């Protein structure tokens, strides 16, 4: 690939793939500067490995006299706006390398620049930032003779963030996932940036996902569990607040034998009979229970339910110790790195900002508002189609799977 030459790509191949950018000290003077051109900002907690903040760094700085043997530079330097300033004078023609932290530790020194900064940068070209969206919007739509004569930048940022938030729920589908193990408490804490779950699966020995279904009408985690007196009245503490006890419903659910729920049983008198049909016909012990079964209970993957009282997800007892993957969506605004917009949805976000601004202003004729409402809806549909990522080969595969032999 060519070197960056004024296009949207500003990183060299070495910067993108290896996470490294090299320089040569030309001056040999104090306070020499080296400017990083990575897509990512340099984060410096401390240059001194003995300091606790050193672990906050997302890069390491290396120097070499011959461009062969590199050692980490741990003398005083600072970072301001991605410009590294080395306090002491380096010998002239010293090779200097910025190595972003990578899973393999990088290619310089002791190869211990370990982290995930390089990998987090992969695929970043498919996204734009909310800052760029706001900047582009101010240039294209705001000003004399343009659609919106004047508006505060803070108002544009507000509507852009609200648009990103709404898009994240059903258009962008920015699905996050956590790999967890079910502890003895049979519950895991809801992630900090959680908005709603997509699916929860247990992982078997082959690494295959087995869908865990919501308990729905099987059980519930009560939001309040007030202690009652003999007359059934809730009791209060010295401050007048209801006293809370533990949930008996949750205790019974945690101790429940899932075989009594699914109807899966093994009679010792017919053990050989069940083994034969289980191995040869896949009955799995569901003797006499094939007709009229409820899909919710005719499965052995287990169940989960949301415990809003404790901010946790509770699981059935048969999942104790199992490895699970929790897939969920956030609103795209929890962290700075979340505020990225797929380029396939960028035009839809512009349309959303325009409609949001015009619909909240007085003296804007209704037909204009409705026009941009329809435009927003059309571009949002286009974004959904683009982001659905449906390929012709996948459609053909599904259709082939639906084909049946006709027997005469």
What tens-digit pLDDT sequence spans the chain (408 residues)? 566 667 788 899 999 999 999 999 987 789 999 999 998 899 999 999 999 999 999 999 999 999 999 999 999 999 999 999 999 999 989 999 999 999 999 999 989 999 999 998 998 888 888 889 999 999 999 999 999 999 999 999 999 999 988 888 878 766 789 999 999 999 999 999 898 898 999 999 999 999 998 988 888 888 888 898 889 898 998 898 889 888 898 888 888 877 777 766 554 444 454 554 454 444 444 444 555 667 777 778 889 999 988 899 999 988 999 999 999 988 877 776 557 788 999 999 999 999 999 999 988 999 999 999 999 999 999 998 888 877 777 777 777 766 555 555
Are 214 and 325 in a shared domain? yes
Is there a domain that residue 285 lies in?
A: no
At 336 the pLDDT is 64
Q: Are 4 and 11 in contact (CB under 8 A)?
A: yes
At 300 the pLDDT is 82
Are 215 and 319 in a shared domain? yes
Is there a domain that residue 386 lies in?
A: yes
At 290 the pLDDT is 53
Rounded Cα distance between 188 and 314, Å, is: 7
Q: Is the pTM of this model over 0.75?
A: no
Q: Are 81 and 36 in contact (CB under 8 A)?
A: no
Is there a domain that residue 253 lies in?
A: yes
What are the DSSP E strand ranges found in 101-174? Answer: 127-129
Rounded Cα distance between 408 and 406, Å, is: 7
Rounded Cα distance between 252 and 219, Å, is: 10
Are 30 and 115 in a shared domain? yes
Domain holding 235, by residue range, is 175-264+300-329
Are 77 and 156 in a shared domain? no
Rounded Cα distance between 73 and 57, Å, is: 13
Rounded Cα distance between 207 and 201, Å, is: 11
Is there a domain that residue 129 lies in?
A: yes
Are 68 and 113 in a shared domain? yes
Are 228 and 135 in a shared domain? no
Q: Considering its fold, how many domains does the chain have in total?
A: 3
State how far the alpha carbon of 231 is from the alpha carbons of 72, 228, 234, in Å. Answer: 73, 8, 9
Which of 51, 86, 121 is the last residue in one of the domains? 121
Is there a domain that residue 293 lies in?
A: no
Is there a domain that residue 169 lies in?
A: yes
Is there a domain that residue 363 lies in?
A: yes
Are 129 and 210 in a shared domain? no
Are 156 and 64 in a shared domain? no
β-pair partners for 306: 313
Are 368 and 228 in a shared domain? no
Are 361 and 304 in a shared domain? no
At 153 the pLDDT is 94
Is there a domain that residue 405 lies in?
A: no
At 263 the pLDDT is 66
Start-end of H helices in 24-152: 117-121, 130-141
Which of 121, 138, 153 is the last residue in one of the domains? 121
At 286 the pLDDT is 47
State how far the alpha carbon of 389 is from the alpha carbons of 162, 167, 197, 383, 386, in Å. Answer: 24, 16, 21, 10, 6
Rounded Cα distance between 336 and 162, Å, is: 15
State how far the alpha carbon of 315 is from the alpha carbons of 203, 215, 253, 326, in Å. Answer: 15, 9, 9, 12
Are 199 and 319 in a shared domain? yes
Rounded Cα distance between 39 and 46, Å, is: 21
Are 163 and 204 in a shared domain? no
Which of 121, 137, 154 is the last residue in one of the domains? 121
């Amino acid at each position: 690939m060519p070197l960056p030459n004024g296009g949207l790509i500003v990183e060299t191949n070495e910067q993108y793939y290896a996470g490294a950018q090299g320089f040569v000290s030309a001056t040999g003077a104090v306070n020499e500067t080296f400017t990083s051109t990575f897509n990512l900002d340099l984060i410096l907690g401390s240059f001194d490995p003995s300091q606790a903040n050193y672990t906050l760094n997302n890069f390491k700085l290396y120097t070499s006299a011959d461009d062969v043997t590199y050692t980490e530079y741990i003398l005083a330097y600072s970072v301001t706006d991605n410009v590294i300033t080395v306090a002491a004078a380096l010998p002239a023609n010293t090779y200097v390398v910025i190595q972003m932290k990578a899973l393999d530790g990088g290619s310089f020194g002791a190869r211990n620049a370990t982290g995930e900064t390089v990998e987090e940068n992969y695929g970043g070209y498919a996204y734009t930032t909310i800052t760029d969206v706001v900047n582009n919007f101010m240039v294209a739509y705001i000003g004399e003779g343009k659609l919106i004569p004047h508006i505060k930048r803070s108002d544009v940022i507000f509507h852009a963030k609200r648009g990103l938030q709404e898009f994240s729920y059903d258009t962008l589908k920015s699905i996050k996932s956590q790999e967890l193990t079910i502890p003895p408490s049979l519950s895991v804490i809801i992630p900090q940036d959680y908005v709603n779950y997509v699916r929860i699966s247990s992982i078997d020995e082959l690494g295959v996902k087995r869908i865990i279904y919501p308990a729905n009408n099987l059980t519930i985690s009560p939001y309040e569990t007030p202690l009652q007196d003999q007359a059934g009245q809730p009791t209060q503490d010295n401050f007048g607040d209801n006293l809370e006890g533990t949930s008996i419903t949750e205790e019974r659910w945690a101790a429940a034998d899932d075989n009594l729920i699914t109807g899966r049983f093994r009679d010792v008198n017919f053990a050989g009979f069940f083994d034969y049909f289980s191995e040869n016909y896949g009955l799995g012990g569901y003797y006499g229970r094939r007709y009229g079964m409820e899909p919710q209970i005719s499965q052995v993957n287990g169940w989960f339910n949301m415990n809003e009282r404790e901010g946790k997800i509770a699981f059935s007892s048969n999942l104790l110790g199992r490895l699970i993957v929790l897939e969920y969506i956030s609103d795209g605004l929890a962290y700075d790195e979340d505020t990225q917009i797929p380029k396939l949805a960028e035009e839809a976000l512009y349309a959303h900002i325009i409609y949001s601004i015009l619909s909240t202003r007085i003296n804007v004729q209704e037909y204009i508002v409705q026009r941009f409402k329809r435009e927003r809806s059309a571009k949002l549909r286009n974004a959904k189609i683009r982001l659905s990522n449906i390929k012709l080969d996948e459609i053909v595969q599904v259709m082939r799977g639906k084909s049946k032999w006709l027997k005469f």
